[in-house]
Amino acid sequence: MDTILTSLTTNMFIAAAVLVVSYIAIFSEIIHRTSAAIIGAVSIVVLGMFFGFYSQEAALKSIDANTLLLLAGMMMVVAMLRPTGIFQYIAIRLAKVSNKNPRMLLFYISLTVTLISMVLDNVTTVIIFAPITVLITRMLKLNPVPYLMAEAILSNIGGASTLVGDPPNIMIGSAAGINFSSFLFHMAPPVLLVWLCTIALLFLLFHRQLSEPIGGTIDLDEKRAIKDEKNLKKGLGALLVIVLLFFIHHRFHLYPAFVTFIGLSLALMLIQPKPEELFGEVNWSVLFFFAGLFVIVGGVEASGLLHLIGKELAHMASEPQMLLKAALLLMWVSALLSAVVDNIPFTVAMIPIIHGLDDNGINISPLWWALAIGVGLGGNGTHIGATANIIVVAESEKSGIEGARITPLQWLRIGLPAMFASLVVTSIAFVLFFEFFQ
């Protein structure tokens, strides 16, 4: 620690100050997080130019275009699929197939949300599934809480398994040069274990609610949910092309973002959506937030601070046994932090630090997986840990159903055990199969 302090330069102090102030503004929500990120980005570029450690060119280069374009492309694909009604159709079909069995209903909905979240943004998935879930459970005279919480928790878990399932994964994959297949190959086994463990835990923790007798019928016509069958087929075709290309993109040296745009172009040609509707569905605020963070962290990196931290941390992971401990520590710290603060700024800041360890000759592969697992699963711990959680909590409040409001304490009672169980399972997997993650 003394070495770090004595090695700090004025540039590093300035860059660190901008980062800290920006992150405080983001986490405390004094101003909107996107505004905080943009102000922080402009500040660090101005100060960097003045003190000579950062430039406009370097700031532009620090923006990970692959991450932003991949996100934007997928947002547009989802924007074309969403109005077709396919998600509502699936939810109603599953509810009917569950044959009025609360446990089967929870299992089917959770499995579907997980699978969709592996490919599409899990926030969008939950936004669509949550309202129809409340309606279905009301019709069956069931408490919607177990189903809503399961949707959020398991969609977060599903998203953690693929390169495109969660924004931090896109960033990690892009920074580490991990392709879709490799990401799935390494993350799917631990995530599958976590999924099974979590669903069993949810059955146990919601035992009373899932034993309630069903008192009604689902009088919903799923056929009417499909509003545009032709566009649905075209949209699903484009999505299929994207998913297939994800598995082979590295063989053709295609960026994941470019793969998304190939599918998007196909969908644009076939569906020909109205531009104002399509671009209106893109979450520009999120994209600018990410861009701002990249510029801020790029400035800190340019000041040399992250390299210095990497150098100092290098001794912690210099030996194989130490590397395992470092990976586990990173996983747990990432998870605990992600449970209480936004995991994106944390991920963006950690990426160059891990890269710094690589410069010091450390095998950083396990650290990428540890970071992905930590930030992916940690969000389940609290009701504010992930956007999907906030959405289902809001939906439960809006429903106005007595006893259906998900309180922060109620979330902790379910989410925290789920998060710790997930981390224990993945930690054991890490210890037993450490070579697999190297």
Q: Which residues bind another protein (CB under 8 A)?
A: 88, 92, 131-132, 134-135, 138-141, 215-217, 219-222, 224-225, 395, 398-400
Closest to another protein by CB, 226 vs 412, is 226
CB of 399 to another protein, least distance (A): 6
CB of 255 to another protein, least distance (A): 36
Q: Which two tokens stand for residue 224?
A: 């009417």
Return the HEC string of 309-357.
Answer: HHHHHHHHHCCHHHHHHHHHHHHHHHHHHHHHCCHHHHHHHHHHHHHHH
CB of 417 to another protein, least distance (A): 28
CB of 332 to another protein, least distance (A): 37
As a whole number of angstroms, the distance between CA 88 and CA 183 comes to 30
Q: Name the DSSP letter for residue 84.
A: G
As a whole number of angstroms, the distance between CA 315 and CA 357 comes to 9
Among 318, 320, 341, 317, CA closest to 329: 317
Closest to another protein by CB, 156 vs 396, is 396
Burial class (CB in 10 A: 0-12, 13-18, 19+), 119: buried
Q: Which two tokens stand for residue 342?
A: 């936004």
Closest to another protein by CB, 95 vs 305, is 95
Closest to another protein by CB, 222 vs 281, is 222
Closest to another protein by CB, 138 vs 311, is 138
As a whole number of angstroms, the distance between CA 408 and CA 58 comes to 42
As a whole number of angstroms, the distance between CA 422 and CA 200 comes to 12
Closest to another protein by CB, 219 vs 435, is 219
| Alpha-carbon distances, residue 272 vs 80, 215, 259 (angstroms) | 9, 45, 19
CB of 215 to another protein, least distance (A): 7
Closest to another protein by CB, 141 vs 413, is 141
Q: Is the alpha carbon torsion for 255, 257, 258, 263 positive or negative?
A: positive
Helix, coil or strand: residue 219: coil
298 CB contacts (<8 Å, ≥6 apart)? 54, 58, 59, 61, 62, 63
Closest to another protein by CB, 138 vs 250, is 138
Q: Are the C-beta atoms of residues 380 and 386 closer than 8 Å to each other?
A: yes
- Residue 233 has a CB neighbour count (10 Å cut-off) of 12
| Alpha-carbon distances, residue 271 vs 76, 229, 237, 239 (angstroms) | 12, 11, 11, 13
As a whole number of angstroms, the distance between CA 187 and CA 191 comes to 6
Q: Are the C-beta atoms of residues 151 and 113 closer than 8 Å to each other?
A: yes
CB of 298 to another protein, least distance (A): 41
CB of 92 to another protein, least distance (A): 7
Closest to another protein by CB, 184 vs 225, is 225
Report the residue count for the chain. Answer: 438
For residue 336, which phi and psi values (nearest 5 degrees)? -65, -40
One-letter amino acid at 175 equals A
Q: Which two tokens stand for residue 160?
A: 């953690």
Closest to another protein by CB, 225 vs 339, is 225
